[in-house]
Amino acid sequence: MRTAPAAAPAHLAHPRERHPRRHGPLIRLEATRLDRELASGTAAWQSRLHAARSLQLTSRRARTAIASALERLAADAARPDRARGLSAAVTPCTDQVREAIPMILEISARLRAGTPVDGRGTAALRLLLSDGSGPCYVRIHRLALRDALAHASRSLEARE
């Protein structure tokens, strides 16, 4: 006796719905919100937008960009204050960053490696690097940046 094949989930019913590029403009508009939600533990499968954003964040291109930003952060903190020059950009909290350089370089190497990472961790790192009022840029407490990096590193662990 043959049974009818199971119906595909509704979001896979039409071929255009399967392609994450279709959501590109909306994902760009909602990137920060989606990153916050992913970093705080929202599952990537929660919605098509979360899934597509997670795929973006774990792509080779995004991982390389985040790793490069982490390495620049470490290099900038290692330079003497006079060598940085004047800039309108928010400058990193050098004490916090210098103390976290080994962890920064470890996470950067992990992002550059080909091993799978979870979108939660890459979202957390992206937010950490872009938040001008966060521990990269403001001295909250002595180990604030190391704590935030440790949390992001744990979140990078790919889940099954």
pLDDT tens, residue order, the chain (160 aa): 444 444 434 444 334 444 555 667 788 888 999 999 999 999 999 999 999 999 999 999 999 999 999 999 999 888 776 555 666 667 788 889 999 999 999 999 999 998 999 999 999 999 999 998 888 888 888 889 999 999 999 999 977 5
Q: Using alpha carbons only, how large is the chain's radius of gyration in Å?
A: 19
Range of the domain at 143: 60-155
Is the residue at 46 inside a domain?
A: no
Cα 101 to the center of its chain, rounded Å = 18
Q: How many CA atoms lie within 13 A of 76 on its CB side?
A: 19
What is the domain count for the chain?
1
User: Does some domain include residue 88?
Assistant: yes
In whole angstroms, how far apart are CA 25 and each of 39, 60, 123?
21, 20, 18
Q: Is residue 86 part of a domain?
A: yes
The SS3 call for residue 21 is helix
Q: Evaluate whether residue 72 is within a structural domain.
A: yes
Determine the pLDDT at residue 78.
Answer: 81
133 falls within a domain: yes
In a domain, 17, yes or no: no
Residue at 65 is within a domain: yes
If you search the block for the tokens 């916090």, which residue do you land on?
96
Examine residue 71 and state whether it is found in any structural domain, yes or no: yes
